[in-house]
Structure formats: structure tokens, C-alpha cells
Homo-oligomer: A and B are copies of this chain.
Amino acid sequence: MKITQAERDAVYKTIFNRRDVRAEFEATPIPDDVLKRILTAAHHAPSVGFMQPWDFVIVRSDETKQKLKQGFIQANREAEALFEGERKEQYRSLKLEGIQEAPIGICVTCDRTRTGPLVLGRTANLDMDLYSSVCAVQNLWLAARAENIGVGWVSIIHDHVLHQTLGIPEHIVPIAYLCLGYVSHFHDQPELEKRGWLKRQSLNSLIHEEQWQDKSHK
């Protein structure tokens, strides 16, 4: 199946305008058919040995979101304590999640036992299953952006909070807790870049020809 130039440009537009959303969520509900399309895209990510190790726990209730928010607050307090001086002040000024504002939360997981103990392609590197679930996250994120829906990845939360709150079995690994919703607007740059937290690295400094080269940013 051939992708046309216009279609290619649409893919790039979506990739370059994807953002990690925290503050811009609106309450507008996400229709079921739109959510279904986004999850179908996630389910069509590559997976090692076609094991499809992902599951999607959909969170809608205020009660569940409140428990997860408490988990964030706890983990964020621990994180804050690690920063010092001006950096701590800056850290505290950042909004780092939109758990309660986003109409939908999705926990993407990895079932490391799916399809049995022996998985094609997961013999030299046992983490390939985790990586497959991350590919599903990125497919989901781009599909949502293509639907003009924002996604925010909440990484400042402990796994045990996700396990307990969502009833996820012990052997299932939570990979990402994602907040989804329509947004007032998408930022034109990543917020951490806009706010001066870190700069974007030049692409050239990340490219090595044939062999690893020492680059200044190391």
C-alpha cells in the first residue's frame, strides 16, 4: 500500500505537533467510537513475536482519579525533595499531570507471561515485551493527536498505586498511565523547552556514522 506525499506530510504534521498535555484538558467527553479508533491503533503496534502483551485499563470515575491523584501527590513530594535551590522552585511551578481534569485515563500494561514462557524474538533481550507495550503507547499518542485529542503521560506515580487502585495483578507491569482529553490548545513546543527547563539537542549531535563518535553533549 503506497503512502502519498500528502499522507506522508500528515504523518509528520502529527508527529511534530504531538505534545505531553497537562493543563489544557477540557471536560468534553471523548465519544466511544473515537476511543475505539485510538485503542485499535495502539493494538496495531509492533510486538515481539506478535505476542501483543498490552492491556488497556480505561479510567472514567472521579473516585478512581482521586486515588491516582493522591498517588501522584505522594510521588511528586518525594521528587520535589530531590531538587535544590532555583531548580526546586522551578520544579514546583510546573503542572505535571492532568489526572482529574482529563475525562479519560488509560493505563497501558505489559503481560510478561502472554503467549507462554518462550516468545520468538525475546530470547536475547528479555525486555522486548516491555518495549512492545511502549510502542503501543506511542501509537495511541499519535492516533489521539490525529483526533485532536491531547495525551499526558503521568510518570510520577508508583507502580504499586496503579496495581492497587486499578486491581492490576502482580505479574502485569504498568507501563504508562495516560490522561486523554480534548484540549483548549496544543503548545507549539514542548512545555519544558518553552519554560527553559532543558533545550532541544541538535539532531547532528545525536547522529553517529558507522561507529559511535564522542559528541560534546556527553
Q: Find out whether the CB atom of A50 lies under 8 angstroms from the CB atom of B190.
A: yes
Selected contact of A124 from candidates B122, B146, B155, CB within 8 Å: B155
Q: Which residues of B contact A137 (CB under 8 A)?
A: 131, 135
Q: Mark A25-38, 1 if CB is under 8 A from B, else 0.
A: 00000000000110
Classify chain A's interface size: 35 or more
Is A59 at the interface (CB under 8 A from chain B)?
Answer: yes
Contact A1/B17 with A57-B211, A58-B210, A211-B166 known, Cβ cut-off 8 Å? yes
Contact A14/B7 with A123-B75, A135-B134 known, Cβ cut-off 8 Å? yes
Q: Find out whether the CB atom of A16 lies under 8 angstroms from the CB atom of B44.
A: yes
Q: Which residues of B contact A8 (CB under 8 A)?
A: 10, 146-147
A145 to B107, CA, bound (A): 27
Q: Which of A32-82 contact B (CB under 8 A)?
A: 36-37, 39-41, 43-46, 48-52, 54-61, 64, 75, 78-79, 82
Q: Which residues of B contact A122 (CB under 8 A)?
A: 155
Q: Which of A132-150 contact B (CB under 8 A)?
A: 134-135, 137-139, 141-143, 145-148
Q: Which residues of B contact A209 (CB under 8 A)?
A: 58, 60
Q: Mark A169-183, 1 if CB is under 8 A from B, else 0.
A: 100100110000000
Query: Footprint of B on A, CB under 8 Å?
Result: 1-4, 6-8, 10-18, 20, 36-37, 39-41, 43-46, 48-52, 54-61, 64, 75, 78-79, 82-83, 91, 94, 96, 111, 114-115, 118, 120-125, 127-128, 130-131, 134-135, 137-139, 141-143, 145-148, 153, 155-159, 166-169, 172, 175-176, 186, 188, 190, 192-193, 197-198, 200-201, 203, 206-212, 215, 217-218
Complex A-B, nearest 6 residue pairs according to Cβ-Cβ distance, in ascending order: A7-B10, A10-B10, A138-B138, A11-B146, A134-B134, A50-B192
